[in-house]
Structure 1
Amino acid sequence: MSDLTQQDFVYATYPDLKGKRVVITGGGSGIGGELTTAFAGQGARVVFLDIAEEASRALESALSGAAAAPTFIKCDLTNIDELQSVFARIHEELGGVDILLNNAANDDRHDIEDVTPAYWESRMNVNLRHMFFCTQAVLAGMKERRQGAILNFGSISWHLPHNHLHLYMTAKAGIEGMTRALARDAGHYGIRANTIIPGAVRTPRQQALWHNPEEEARILAGQCLPERVEMQDVAALTLFLASDNARHCSGREYFVDAGFYGA
């Protein structure tokens, strides 16, 4: 068992990420916040989008001394007009996007009987639809440059027996299909697309809402490695897949879940 603590974690350095133009959705907190931190630490030119302004401003301030200070833009990704306007601004200011991390999501619990058409639409908009339109917004520039990396974030949830996550699991399953289709369509232009599938990651939100001692014991019992997956583990895999070290990785799903088979 590893004795590496969360505080001791040191990311590998990928020189080719320095100066890359990176957009991270939902980048203000949780896994997204760690992605913002990790890519800024590589010297990438990070723009992170989030609807949670207070947490995002705090992160932007905390990282002002990073190798390359990230920029926060408030954006409601469920509003496609707003999303497209923000990406137009990013293209104008940065000249394009090299790496897109489609991370934003929300795993609200629900019962099937309570789902209305409006709730269905809201969950698909929050967890799936924006990934397509963010991708659409960066694709033309990537095709022109004949390079780019798009990483969509899925979830272990639909690979395991979970309850009260019907719509979230539906959206996350769709992400894997969408990514495979994108990898096929965009590969001829040198664009790579992969899905990153986090396991039961220890985030502040999960700890506050779901991961009580009983749930943590269940998680550990269901993993091959009896250690909690941390946000840094997800960011470390993301750095690799975004870098040139993963130049021939595309159209696949990459799990970082400590071998979680459920319990």
Structure 2
Amino acid sequence: MKETATFHDLKGASVFITGGGSGIGASLTDGFMDQGAKVAFVGRSDATEFADEMEAKHGVRPLFLQCDITDIERLKACVAQAAEAHGPVTTLVNNAANDKRHSTMEVDSDFWDWMIAVNFKAYFFACQAVIPGMQAAGGGSIINFSSISYMMGNAGYPIYTGSNSGINGMTRSLAREFGPDRIRVNALAPGWVLTQKQLDQWATPEGLAAHMERQCLKDHLEPDDIVGATLFLASGTSRMMTGQSLVIDGGVVVTG
């Protein structure tokens, strides 16, 4: 990625990223390591090769902990292991999600439970797991990834969009509850970021063209486009910003 800014207070910071071995998450791991942060990340698939690449690039190795984030006890154990290795987690990035397409009439109870477990429940319990360490450290930053999909009223994945909206509500409540501990909680809502998964599964020429027509900025978003805003939210540069949702979408959702 192209480095555009240095956030000096992130050097040596203990950072925990869910889904940090692929897609947007891989760019986040790279970006935080580029700032000198100590990065631990979890992922369901083996990311040893990616950790090797990061070690070769940065001279230090990120801590990869294999974990299905729907296994809450394992997720909590990974947070504890990251804190033991790097010190209390002072930046949490809840990035992992699954936007599997589904229609309302096809959803059964098991699929509902799985989608909520991935896209909402794991976010809450990751926050719960890091908060005591942040309190002891005198503060921290939690960044919950949402999406513009619910703002657009997109059809085709209602549990995913419902979770995105719920993440905003949870973010605001946690910001209020833990602000006295100097824990900042913000949401970040990307637009359509063309990860390899998106390109492989859903990015048709027609769909890309229609989406580009709605964007103010006429470049497709790439994973690296999300890194700078995440670093900003993690850094003390944004120290008085909490309970907010920051949209990075090239100008699809324009509010005022």
TM-score (norm 2): 0.95
- Deviation (angstroms), 1:95: 2.7
Q: Which residue of 1 aligns with 2:112?
A: 120
List per-residue Cα deviations over 1:201-255 (Å, max 9, x = no partner).
Answer: 1111111111121111011101111111121111111011111111111110000
- Report sequence identity in percent: 40
Q: Verify the 8 A CA contact 1:41 1:67 in the aligned structure 2.
A: no
Aligned residue for 1:22, secondary structure, equals strand
Q: How many residues align?
A: 253
Separation (CA, whole Å) in 2 of partners of 1:161 and 1:214: 19
Q: Verify the 8 A CA contact 1:21 1:99 in the aligned structure 2.
A: yes
1:1-263 superposed matches below 5 A: 9-53=2-46, 56-65=47-56, 66=58, 68-261=60-253
List per-residue Cα deviations over 1:150-201 (Å, max 9, x = no partner).
Answer: 0000001001132211110011110000000010011101111100000011
Runs of 4+ in 1 over 4 A off after TM superposition: none
Query: What is the Cα-based RMSD across aligned positions, in Å?
Result: 1.3
Q: Verify the 8 A CA contact 1:42 1:67 in the aligned structure 2.
A: no
Separation (CA, whole Å) in 1 of partners of 2:28 and 2:250: 19
Q: Verify the 8 A CA contact 2:90 2:137 in the aligned structure 1.
A: no
- Deviation (angstroms), 1:13: 1.1
Q: Verify the 8 A CA contact 1:192 1:249 in the aligned structure 2.
A: yes
Q: Verify the 8 A CA contact 2:14 2:83 in the aligned structure 1.
A: no
Separation (CA, whole Å) in 2 of partners of 1:100 and 1:202: 23
Separation (CA, whole Å) in 2 of partners of 1:17 and 1:144: 18
Letter of the structure 2 residue corresponding to residue 197 of structure 1: A
Structure 1 pair 252–28 and aligned structure 2 pair: CA distance change class (3 A)? same
Separation (CA, whole Å) in 1 of partners of 2:93 and 2:203: 26
Separation (CA, whole Å) in 2 of partners of 1:81 and 1:261: 37
Aligned residue for 1:229, secondary structure, equals coil
Separation (CA, whole Å) in 2 of partners of 1:67 and 1:182: 36
- Specify every segment of 5 or more residues in structure 1 that has no aligned partner in the other structure, as ranges: 1-6
TM-score (norm 1): 0.93
